[in-house]
Amino acid sequence: MKIRIDIECLYKNTKPVCIFYSADSSVSKTLSSKSSLEIDLALRQKDRINIDFVNKDDQDDNVVIIKKMIVDGIDLQHFIYKGCFTPRYNTEWYEEQKPRPPVVYSPCTELRHNGVWSIDVTIPIWKMMMEEWTNDER
């Protein structure tokens, strides 16, 4: 399925590298300051779109910021805030932190550590979005 992801990155020299994957397929991309990526991921009826930030450079302090995700031609709009970021902290940095930083961030669209941002999706996307609204009891 065609997925467009608009991403902005902060970096000095180390361009962020991310692996985009679902249950059955993956693709790796080196990002620039502003990227509008067109990727093709096989998606099952219930699946998870993952973005794994794999080359965090603590000296460079490169950052990946997810701005927009369009799946099957449909902008997920504010539903991208349902995504979760599970960082893989630098062990040395982690040991210095008091209190300990969270295991998972949500909502989160800024990846400031190595780790995986993921969002659950169901196909068809339009119906998934309708169900999200319908079941929103806040």
Partner 1 sequence: MMKDNIPKLLKDSIEQNTLDIDIITKKLKLPWLKLDIKLDIPNKDYIRELTSNTDWRSRWNYPDLVADSYQVKGWNGDVFFGPTDWKKFLNEANKNNNEHNHDGDSKCRWLRQELDYDWYVDPDHFLRQQIKNFLPNDRDINLVNTFHLPPGGYVFPHRDYAIDGMGLAKIYIALKWGDGNTFGMYGCGNIPIKEGDVFLLNNYTLPHWVHNGSDDDRIVLDISANLHSPIIKEKVIQAFKRSFC
Interacting residues with partner 1 (CB under 8 A): 75, 77, 126, 129-130, 133-134, 136, 138
Shortest Cβ 136–partner 1 spacing (Å): 7
Query: Nearest approach, Cβ of 57 to partner 1 (angstroms)?
Result: 35
What angle (nearest 5°) sits at the alpha carbon of residue 99, between those of residues 95 and 105?
95
CB of residue 131 to partner 1, shortest distance in Å? 9
3-state secondary structure of 120: strand
Distance CA 86, CA 123 (A): 24
Copy the structure tokens of residue 23.
């249950």
Nearer of residues 12 and 127 to partner 1, judged by Cβ: 127
Q: Which is nearer to partner 1, 4 or 15 (CB)?
A: 4
| Residue 47 bridge partners (DSSP) | 121
Shorter beta-carbon distance to partner 1: residue 81 or 94: 81
Task: State the minimum distance, in angstroms, from the CB of residue 135 to partner 1.
Answer: 10
Pick 1 or 70: Cβ nearer partner 1 = 70
User: Which backbone phi and psi does 133 adopt, to 5 degrees?
Assistant: -65, -45
Q: From CA 1, how far away is CA 22, in angstroms rounded? A: 11
Selection from 46, 47, 37 nearest residue 2 by Cα: 37
